Structure 1
Amino acid sequence: MRSANDYTAVNRWIKKGERPRSPVPNFIAQALSERLGRRIAPGDLGMPDEETLAERGLSYGGSPLKTVETIIDLGRADMKRRHVIKAPFVLAALGAPSRDWLLATLDEVHTERGPRQVGMRQVAGIRDMFALFQEMDVMRGGGHARTALIEYMSSYVVPLLKRDHQRPVEQALYEAAAELAYLIGWMAYDDGEHGLAQRYLIQALHLAQASGSAALGAHVLAGMSDQANLLGHPHEALMLARAGRRGLSDTESPACTADLHILEARALATLGERAAATRAITQAETTFNRVVHENEPEWAKFIDAPYLFGEAAHCFRDLGQPDQLEQFATESAEGARRQGRARRGALSHAALAVGDLERGDVESAAAKSLHVVDLAASVNSSRCIATVRDLQGRMKPYSNVREVQQFNARAGELLGLAA
């Protein structure tokens, strides 16, 4: 009896264009890698490996170079719109990475590595590109430039990571690569591709650990907490935010610490823990007052007053406290307007609209919601679209009100959303 993968099967692959099923593509790629002396992935051969890649993306550990390879494979699949981009968000995968990162971080002796100097020229260039792409995300949404960032990381950053370097340069490159991987994951999150985003974030966390940057690792955990809470998992979101805080010293990035406090408050508010959520908001404000933005890393640039007040407003929205909601959301919306940040403005104006609804002022809520639609239409962000849908759902009982009808018409016209 012949093997299922004999010369007949190979003939079908070559002559008829049939694709072998898992795990055959991985066996073929492994054999060719050994023969050629370099890594060949199933995707390089036009063969599917989405199932194993989806699993690898959730794994935390191994060498940093293995993590880099996983990020590259995720990027290839992402660029080619292969099925791994539809891989599900896996709640059970959140615990081990945060635990392992925290234990490793607490075991390390933190030392001051000093300023980045040349020999670090490439690292400085990577950080400049990170700043550019982060600005694109903040101003235009996560769906705007993700594929360009993936291409930059694959074609420029990864080849640098594969070279031999002195330890300080190696750590700096891992840190820069972790920042980029985090940003790619955050863009995927904002674009509504949550399973893919989760996998990027887990790999970014491992690179952050390899770099020795506790603040960057805590920042990645903040992103994971934000995502978990958005997807309806506040207990896990709380665990992730607290793990991030425990891995930081009092002097490392007050901006990141403030962010973790406010994300802890978001999770507590979702859980209905009013007193604890309010305390966490107060701690976030107190910590934020210690921030000196010039001393913060580039990735902390967005952790500013419009962001922090906007997140606090959403806490009070979830707690059903419209007066506090209005105070913080107004501050956030005004700051976002001055900065030209449409995504943050849309989220904060939506919170104001919810506050109006809770007071029974439907006309005012609908007017603010019209503005949310206009802002959402100017960015490529699925979170903004979801926010408009949320407002439509809240206003369904008032569908006969003229202003609500105008809001629904605008949402249909600009965003294609039916009421």
Structure 2
Amino acid sequence: MGDRQPNKGLTRLYTATDWTLRQFAQEVNKIATERGKPTRYQPASVHQWLGGHMPREEVRPLILEALSRHLKHPVTHREAGFPAPVHDGCSIGTVEGLVDLGMQDMDPSRRSVIGAGAKLFSVALAIPGWQDVVGRIEAVQTGRMQHIGMPEVESVIAMTDRLSDLDDEFGGRYARPMAAAFMVNVVAPCLKADAPSEVRKAMTSAASFLSYLTGWMAVDEGFHGLAQQYYVKGLELAGASADHMTYCHILRGMSVQSVDLEHGSTAVNLANAAISEATPAAGPRMLAFMGGQQAHSYAVAKDRVNALRCITETEVALSKAQSRQGTFGGYNSATLAYHTAQVRYYLGDVAGSVDSLELCFSLRDPKYDSRRGDLQFGALLAERQLGIGHLDAACATWGKVVDEYPSIQSWKVDRRITEMIRLIRPHLKNSTARDLYERARLAAPSLAA
């Protein structure tokens, strides 16, 4: 007993409330009465909690609710120094995990620290299977949350769409703090609210896609470990809402992350899992969306036969799709050309890759295709133009990227600019290359140092 350590998390929260010990006890008792199970805690009990005595499991949610109401933000078990709840699925543990991740992103003073520890990508990450997560949608009500209906679900979906647009236009560093704040302040409370089962299922599905999107933004910042945490939470929520298509979409996103880092075998495993889980329910657009990534993954893994097979199957699937913009990623002819370019490049056909990337740009439509993608793919095109000896063409392509670079907050684009500077330095005797280099130094001084 003498070795018990003070609860620093709970003490920090208590200090922020400016309560006395008596006021803290009274607030806990008040919430217990609201929930039909009155308690009679005294200041001495609060003193014990702060000193490290662990409250009973059924009392901890009362303490968290009291703190959340007064501090006006969700307070999780972890933040209060309590052990995580034992139940899993779309339960308190899953929702609180989202809140913890989101609150890290919301706090500007902690983002550099988080980033330093969040870059690590794990190829051995435990990915929950569909059968492990499907249908586990346990009650997470806190007792006083408002009732929600489909309008709230529709608002979350609309806001997620807007955040996705901002990410495409300005990059992950710009959009992710907003996505995290929305997750913590709006979506997490909605997941805890009273709702009919169908509304709860729809809200959980919407939260799953938002978690995926926030992970996608974290990848765009280069925070790969953090992105994986968001992705896994998204898988749990997709299973909880029985949203099989979003589950597959997230697996595909994890494969994209692996490809970006050139973990070929991991990318293949994730892409194969995504497409195998998606069929046979998927339509041709979804199959193309999955198949293009599968082909890209096989190419990075140097599996020529399967890469060519999958890119052909993707072409066939896309030819059967009716509308230009589909539900899953708006996969279109420009995206197919990009995946074809990547397959060609990783299988050794650099000139063919240039041709396919040029086709990609001729097919891209600003209405559907992201501005960040224009810069990222443009830089790739320039790198490959230089690779086949076309210095002037490469400089012209890079020049367009440099002009737009200052308005994008993206690690992916940063990485391409850094590569551009490295590749152009040996050519500084050429006046065109030298002019490009000087423009890049002005546009990205920290990368050119």
TM-score range, shorter chain: 0.7 to 0.9
Name 1:390's counterpart in structure 2: 419
In 2, the alpha carbon distance for the partners of 1:6 and 1:338 equals 56
In 1, the alpha carbon distance for the partners of 2:203 and 2:161 equals 15
Give 5+ residue unaligned stretches, structure 2: 16-48, 136-147
Name 2:103's counterpart in structure 1: 76
8 A contact 1:332–1:345 mirrored in 2: no
Matches within 5 A, 1:313-392: 313-336=341-364, 338-339=366-367, 341-392=370-421
Change (3 A) 1:323 1:167: same
CA deviations on 1:150-203 (whole Å, 9 max, x unpaired) are 222222222221123332222111111111111111111112221211111110
In 1, the alpha carbon distance for the partners of 2:438 and 2:98 equals 42
Matches within 5 A, 1:19-418: 34=59, 37-39=62-64, 62-81=89-108, 82=110, 83-88=113-118, 89-97=120-128, 100-101=129-130, 119-293=149-323, 296-297=326-327, 300-336=328-364, 338-339=366-367, 341-416=370-445, 417-418=447-448
**Counterpart secondary structure, 2:448:** coil
Change (3 A) 1:320 1:350: farther
- Percent identity, please: 26
Count of equivalent residues: 391
Change (3 A) 1:32 1:65: closer
8 A contact 2:324–2:330 mirrored in 1: no
Name 1:5's counterpart in structure 2: 5
Q: CA deviation at 1:410?
A: 1.8
Q: Which moved more, 1:368-377 or 1:252-261?
A: 252-261
Equivalent AA in structure 2 for residue 407 of structure 1: L
In 2, the alpha carbon distance for the partners of 1:247 and 1:295 equals 22
Q: CA deviation at 1:352?
A: 2.2
**Counterpart secondary structure, 2:172:** coil
In 2, the alpha carbon distance for the partners of 1:133 and 1:294 equals 22
In 2, the alpha carbon distance for the partners of 1:268 and 1:12 equals 50
Give 5+ residue unaligned stretches, structure 1: 16-23, 107-117
**Counterpart secondary structure, 1:164:** coil
**Counterpart secondary structure, 2:201:** helix
In 2, the alpha carbon distance for the partners of 1:391 and 1:143 equals 21
Higher gyration radius (CA): 2
8 A contact 1:265–1:278 mirrored in 2: yes
In 2, the alpha carbon distance for the partners of 1:213 and 1:6 equals 43
In 1, the alpha carbon distance for the partners of 2:401 and 2:57 equals 53
TM-score (norm 1): 0.80
8 A contact 2:74–2:99 mirrored in 1: no
Q: CA deviation at 1:372?
A: 1.9
Equivalent AA in structure 2 for residue 305 of structure 1: S
8 A contact 1:281–1:312 mirrored in 2: yes
RMSD over aligned CA atoms reads: 3.9
In 1, the alpha carbon distance for the partners of 2:199 and 2:97 equals 22
8 A contact 1:349–1:369 mirrored in 2: yes
Name 1:21's counterpart in structure 2: none
Equivalent AA in structure 2 for residue 3 of structure 1: D
